[in-house]
Amino acid sequence: MKYALFLGCTIPARSRQYELSARKVAQKLGIELVDIAEFVCCGFPVKASDMKSAMVLGAYNIALAEKQGLDLCALCSSCASQLTEVVHHLAHDEKAKVEVNEVLAKAGLQYDKGTGVRHFARVLYEEVGKDEIKKHFTKSLEGLKIANHYGCHYLKPSEIYNNFDQVEDPHSLDEMVALTGATVVDYANKKRCCGGPVLAVDEKTSLAIAKEKLDDIREAGANAINLICPFCSVMYDSNQKGIETAFSATYNIPVLYLTQLLGLAMGFDRKELGLNMNVVKTKDALAKYAGGD
Amino acid sequence: MADIDLTKADPNFRKELLAQPGGEKISACFTCKTCMASCPVSAVNSKFSPYRIIRLALFGLKKEVLESDFVWFCSSCYACQERCPQGVCITDFMTLLKNLAIKAGHAPAGIKAQRNLIKGQGRIYAIDEFDNKKRNKIDLPSLPTTCEVVKLLFPES
């Protein structure tokens, strides 16, 4: 199993623990991840200002992978959604493809058929499979109560994702987390957005959206949140203290990436999974399960 | 919420929207408010409601739609689009409105800044030598600190 690893903007600069743990988990499972240094932004942040430029940016990245005959694997849900959408769109719009190729030619590239695009969590769920993942576990996470946050673009818009999971009743993350022995806790508004995209427009509204979910997760008695998108992590992990201050609340709920959680069950230690880089301290909640410093 | 003043309506705005990707199906909206009930932003901020923006657009209230802040409150989460019983691509429509607002010169500073960053350096967060040092320390590969090709990828500027 071999993919071009698409890191996007946020992960290599702000979420190195996600990249680190994903590479560890991939290596353990025999997924070869190829780095392409020429990759640029996926185009998602440009969509609001200019859909055409966003599509060209996406197509540029896809064409780079296509040139090497590789499918793309993204760690960020927005990158996965943007790149999948470009492939979907260009497969159905020959005129747009011609226009895109006119621009790409200036950069010496050509978009032909595009490539497969997968979120890393989807690769784990669909391509590797639960039985294979479980074979590599050496430690049970029994006793840990996890609230899964699916976020939005891992599953939506559903028309581009071939229904690999259900938008209104998602279960792929729940199933993978349950493999570790941890208990998956359900909570109100599980499918709701983190509020991240509104942060640059109106901080108060954005934080209020994130706060609602933190309230629901606390209410459900979870020890930690599990998620798969760096921007969702910014909202719940990096901004948790700010939300506590703004709304006079206390949460102290660690926020883990799926790859850190699976990595723990695979026997990696704290440092190998970058658990020391998470903002909300993970040491107490994970004391039973994570060795190392 | 302010009353809608129909004397300011521009009938061509509706036609313009219906002809563009994301706007094709907006006239099918029958104001059931499923979008509003699904919207994470409406849940915490009553200033924003997707069905109201669709109504204003259908009435042709161009200035009110494109100059208002609330188009930018849409988080692009697709909850409304997934649930719309009339098949209106509401999230895509909001993206269309954002594009039109920018063309008309109305954009929050943060949105313009993001575009300029990407156009200049290929990423929102530039990677410098210090970042690469931190990356190398935990055995992550270095990434390029500059990007020339990205300027060629913005067709309309």
- pLDDT single digits (tens) A268-291: 999 999 999 999 999 999 999 987
Q: Is B1 contained in some domain?
A: no
Q: Do B115 and A46 lie within an 8 Å CB cutoff?
A: yes
pLDDT at site B113: 87
CATH code (residue A175): 3.40.50.11810
Domain match, A159 and A194 both: yes
Domain extent for B141: 109-153
Question: Is the per-residue pLDDT at B2 higher than 70?
Answer: no
Q: Which chain B residues are Cβ-neighbours of A52 within 8 angstroms? A: 155-156
B150 touches chain A (CB under 8 A): yes
Q: Is A293 contained in some domain?
A: no
Domain extent for A193: 138-286
Domain match, B61 and B22 both: yes
Q: Do A205 and B95 lie within an 8 Å CB cutoff?
A: no
State the total domains in chain A. Answer: 2
Domain match, A157 and A113 both: no
State the total domains in chain B. Answer: 2
- If pLDDT is split at 50, 70 and 90, which confidence band does A292 have? low
Residues 6+ apart with CB under 8 A from A272: A20, A21, A24, A263, A292
Q: Do A16 and B140 lie within an 8 Å CB cutoff?
A: yes
Distance CA A170, CA A77 (A): 15
pLDDT at site A293: 53
Q: Which chain B residues are Cβ-neighbours of A272 within 8 angstroms? A: none
Last residue of some domain: A120, A149, A183?
A: A120
Mean pLDDT of A115-126: 98
Domain match, B68 and B129 both: no
Nearest CA in chain B to A151: B77
CATH code (residue A16): 1.20.1050.140
- What pTM value is reported for the model? 0.96
Domain match, B57 and B113 both: no
Q: Is B21 contained in some domain?
A: yes
Q: Which chain A residues are Cβ-neighbours of B107 within 8 angstroms? A: 49
- If pLDDT is split at 50, 70 and 90, which confidence band does A200 have? confident
Output the average pLDDT for chain A: 96
Q: Is A292 contained in some domain?
A: no
Q: Do B73 and A202 lie within an 8 Å CB cutoff?
A: yes
Nearest CA in chain A to B139: A20
Q: Is B122 contained in some domain?
A: yes
Domain match, A246 and A170 both: yes
Domain match, A71 and A168 both: no
Question: Is the per-residue pLDDT at B63 higher than 90?
Answer: yes
CATH code (residue B23): 1.10.1060.10
- Over residues A142-183, the pLDDT tens digits come to 999 999 999 999 999 999 999 899 999 999 999 999 999 999
Domain match, A258 and A166 both: yes
Q: Which 3 state secondary structure label does DSSP give B88?
A: coil
Domain match, B20 and B93 both: yes
Q: Which chain B residues are Cβ-neighbours of A53 within 8 angstroms? A: 115, 153-157
Q: Which chain A residues are Cβ-neighbours of B140 within 8 angstroms? A: 12, 16, 19-20, 23
pLDDT at site A59: 98
User: Which is higher by pLDDT, B111 or A240?
Assistant: A240
pLDDT at site A40: 97
CA A137, A152, A4, B123 dihedral sign is negative
B138 touches chain A (CB under 8 A): yes
- If pLDDT is split at 50, 70 and 90, which confidence band does A37 have? very high
Domain match, B84 and B134 both: no
Domain match, B99 and B114 both: no
Q: Is A177 contained in some domain?
A: yes
Q: Do A53 and B141 lie within an 8 Å CB cutoff?
A: no
- If pLDDT is split at 50, 70 and 90, which confidence band does B1 have? low
Question: Is the per-residue pLDDT at B77 higher than 80?
Answer: yes
Q: Do B122 and A202 lie within an 8 Å CB cutoff?
A: no
Spatial contact of A45 and B124, defined as CB atoms under 8 Å apart: yes
Question: Is the per-residue pLDDT at B105 higher than 70?
Answer: yes
Nearest CA in chain A to B107: A49
Q: Which 3 state secondary structure label does DSSP give A145?
A: strand
Q: Which 3 state secondary structure label does DSSP give B31?
A: coil
A158 touches chain B (CB under 8 A): yes
Domain match, B90 and B113 both: no
Domain match, A106 and A174 both: no
Distance CA A279, CA A148 (A): 18
Distance CA B23, CA B76 (A): 15
Spatial contact of B11 and B58, defined as CB atoms under 8 Å apart: no
- If pLDDT is split at 50, 70 and 90, which confidence band does B108 have? confident
Domain match, A160 and A231 both: yes
A51 touches chain B (CB under 8 A): yes
Domain match, B149 and B89 both: no
- If pLDDT is split at 50, 70 and 90, which confidence band does A129 have? very high
Domain match, A109 and A38 both: yes
Domain match, B116 and B90 both: no
Q: Is A132 contained in some domain?
A: no
Mean pLDDT of B108-125: 89
Q: What is the ipTM of this complex?
A: 0.94
B25 touches chain A (CB under 8 A): no
Q: Is B121 contained in some domain?
A: yes
Q: Is A237 contained in some domain?
A: yes
Distance (Å) from the alpha carbon of A178 to chain B's nearest alpha carbon: 26
Domain match, A109 and A12 both: yes
Q: Which chain A residues are Cβ-neighbours of B139 within 8 angstroms? A: 20
Radius of gyration from C-alpha coordinates of chain A: 19
Domain match, B99 and B25 both: yes
Nearest CA in chain A to B128: A13
Domain match, A191 and A110 both: no
Domain match, A178 and A59 both: no
**A198 → closest Cβ in B75, B79, B155:** B75
Q: Do B154 and A56 lie within an 8 Å CB cutoff?
A: yes
Domain match, A33 and A153 both: no
Counting residues of chain A whose pLDDT is more than 70, the rounded percentage is 99
Mean pLDDT of B27-44: 97
Question: Is the per-residue pLDDT at B156 higher than 80?
Answer: no
Q: What is the largest CA-CA distance in chain B?
A: 64
pLDDT at site B4: 77
Counting residues of chain A whose pLDDT is more than 90, the rounded percentage is 97
pLDDT at site B7: 86
Mutate to test the interface with B, among A100, A169, A202 (most CBs of B within 10 A): A202
Domain match, B127 and B148 both: yes
- Which residue in A78, A73, A37 sits closest to A259, CA to CA? A73
CA A155 to each of CA A77, A119, A167, A169, A170: distance values in angstroms, whole numbers, following the listed order: 9, 10, 6, 11, 8
Domain match, B27 and B82 both: yes
Q: Is B41 contained in some domain?
A: yes
